[in-house]
Amino acid sequence: MNFALILFVLSVLTGIAWVLDKFALAPRRAAAARAALTSFDERIRREGGDAKAVAAERATLAEHLAASPAWVEYTASFFPVLIAVFLLRSFVAEPFKIPSSSMRPTLEVGDFILVNKFAYGIRLPIIEKKIIDLGMPQHGDVVVFRYPLDPSVDYIKRVIGLPGDVVEYRDKKLAINGNPLPQVADGTYGWLEGMRFEETQKVQETANAGGVPKSYDIAVNALAPPIQPGNVRAFPGRDNCEYNERGFTCRVPPGEYFMMGDNRDFSDDSRYWGFVPDANLRGRAFFIWFNWDDIVNGAFKRVGRGVH
């Protein structure tokens, strides 16, 4: 379901109703109300009456005449709210919900996050065409993007390779352009996956984000192979990659990015379906604003945290 398109259509329809009411119907109602009140005042001058009762009757009549029709209340009155939400979601920040475990331990199932929509440029809503270039992803950014094999589906992963980079993953260790990413063991990490408990090693990995070190936690299953060759699809640029039992090497094409999940052995990512074009980028994840389990349990360990 394209929520942005639905929101846009509703904004247009309510906007038409708002313009029609403001510039055509509301002035007519106001003129009719003034005429009715003038007629009321003339009748009272002729017939007289108790001043207090007349004042109350006139107030009731004025209130009735000033009321908007029901269709205005349920259409035009929603226009300012809908257009504000549409513009905020399109150009400032958009909410997303984490559906899978592929980004553990950074993001857990049920996390509601906010995504910066202008971090990598201003894009026209609906058609997602970039019109103003404001920056590009850096190594280590957590990014929401349209899945290359099905653009109607949104994915979230971490940027591992930039255009032109050579990404090497051997024996569970990453190297970018021949430079290994430092890793420091940080105990274990476990979670409940359905009815099964999973436990992995927790490792702090550090990327070079434009000359600035950027550290984040990843989960690594020591018993799992570095790559599942049977899961590798035929994707555009597949000839830029070499796979073997120890891992792979890929050169990232111009204008595209290589993405991996932090839960390295539980993530379907660029290792298996290829590169992400710049045109598919939705924005950079930066904040966890809600997690139902976190609130119900009274832990508040996730709500209000930044995404690193």
Is the CB of residue 89 less than 8 Å from the CB of residue 82?
no
Cis peptide before 148 (omega within 30 of 0): no
Angle at CA 161, nearest 5°, toward 146 and 125?
25
Nearest to 104 by CA among 214, 200, 219, 199: 219
| Kind plus residue range of the DSSP H or E element containing 61 | helix 51-66
d(CA 269, CA 218): 14
Residue 100 designated active-site: no
Could you write out the DSSP letters of every residue in 10-28?
HHHHHHHHHHHIIIIIHHH
Instruction: Compute how many other C-beta atoms are within 10 angstroms of the C-beta atom of residue 178.
Output: 7
Q: Which two tokens stand for residue 217?
A: 């936690």
37 in helix, strand or coil?
Answer: helix
Half-sphere exposure in the Cβ direction for 166 (13 Å, CA)? 7
Which of these is catalytic: 11, 90, 101, 102? 102
d(CA 231, CA 265): 12
Is the CB of residue 216 less than 8 Å from the CB of residue 158?
yes
d(CA 199, CA 192): 9
Residue labelled with tokens 């660029």: 270
Residue 157 designated active-site: yes
Residues serving a catalytic function are: 102, 157
